[in-house]
Amino acid sequence: AQKITQTQPGMFVQEKEAVTLDCTYDTSDPSYGLFWYKQPSSGEMIFLIYQGSYDQQNATEGRYSLNFQKARKSANLVISASQLGDSAMYFCAMRPYSGSARQLTFGSGTQLTVLP
């Protein structure tokens, strides 16, 4: 079984500063993918970034980067130069690529508030 842990229920960051949202995971599968989603108050789930377990480099997508430390089983999201529009709930998720249970498993989320 997979488990995703997000230990920060809420985070505050000043506009234009960088912020790191923590995510640790637990799985026995050798091959898996890690995802981050943003959920604004409107409720939609916006895909931000993906990291494969065998990828050698950390994933980056614009202002988003994923700090992947496989040995520590962590996949932290780094948002650079925060903007007011970044205020939202952020979810870390994982999908194994082997075995019968291949659905996404989500963490409990982190509510990010960007302060002007």
* Residues at the contact surface with another protein, assessed by CB under 8 A: 33, 35, 37, 42-45, 47, 50, 52, 91, 95, 103-104, 106-109
CA angle 11, 16, 18 (to 5 degrees): 50
CB-nearer residue toward another protein: 10 or 14: 10
CB of 43 to another protein, least distance (A): 4
Tokens of 109: 């989320």
Tokens of 47: 């895909």
CB of 38 to another protein, least distance (A): 11
CB-nearer residue toward another protein: 43 or 116: 43
CB of 57 to another protein, least distance (A): 15
